[in-house]
Structure 1
Amino acid sequence: MDRKVLEDMLSQGQDNAILRYTLGTLCLKEGMLESALEHLEQALRQNGNHSASWKAYGKALVAAKRDDAARQAYEQGIAVAESLGDIQAAKEMKIFLRRLT
């Protein structure tokens, strides 16, 4: 998806957790770490029960060399994923968490 289109949607007031998650992951892929973190933090404020947002947020924090914050994000994300039965996301975040220790 084109980041510009999503940013236009956001500027038109179509703000929601999935839009922010998608923008955050696109910014992360493009190496725009601060923007990625901002969008992913907003996604989690809007819906803290979205496992994929926790996983992406942890990845963005690792990329920003904020390992302590990444550990906390992965721990929260694992708890959320397990509570939702999202076993795959929980497994992936556990692997990412182990890599940080």
Structure 2
Amino acid sequence: MPSLQYLIDSMCANFTAQALYALVLEVVADGPRSLRDIARKVAERDPSLDLGSARQLAEAAVEALGKKGEVRVQGGVVYGARVRKEGVGLR
């Protein structure tokens, strides 16, 4: 998989890598999401992207965040690394 920054540059996407990481984390903060859900959010934020391009960016961002331990992927579903327990806030 090409690096996220390479994909952003080659697609002329209106994102920085950090902004895309933040978007992915924002999407999964409310609970597990499919890659398709994340790609839709990417496409919503940058309407110049088609869904296929948005999916490539989402996949690259999820892969990078997974390597950092900030998300995990199981069965095609993306989870935030920190799970909120009922009645317990995160610090």
Q: Normalising TM by the smaller chain, what interval?
A: 0.3 to 0.5
Larger RCO (CA under 8 A, 6+ residues apart): 2
Higher helix share: 1
In terms of fraction of residues, the more strand-rich structure is 2
TM-score of the two chains, using structure 1 as the length reference: 0.34
Q: TM-score, normalised by structure 2?
A: 0.37
